[in-house]
Structure 1
């Protein structure tokens, strides 16, 4: 299944919408070095905000 290209900024917005804490300034570098799939599926535990209760 082919997925559309998304920019780093779009990937960050998607992570935030899913409740991940992406406030760290290194997030752009991590997404640039790793891909979105690896971050979400392999490293999501590092970014998840356990206190997140959904959009307000």
Structure 2
């Protein structure tokens, strides 16, 4: 059951990252100056998601 929960969390994280990347691409198409601030925030969110995913990865301790 623990493995199933881990895989579900990975899938949820992957969906969140995909949604953020989709929004980022939509905002990039906007000429608004406020869009640059949103891009910065979305980049930070993506970085946090990738970092969180790496920390929870079974190979995170391997270098």
Shared fold, TM over 0.5: no
TM-score of the two chains, using structure 1 as the length reference: 0.29
Q: Which has the higher contact order (CA 8 A, sep 6+)?
A: 1
Q: Which protein has the larger Cα radius of gyration, Structure 1 or Structure 2?
A: 2
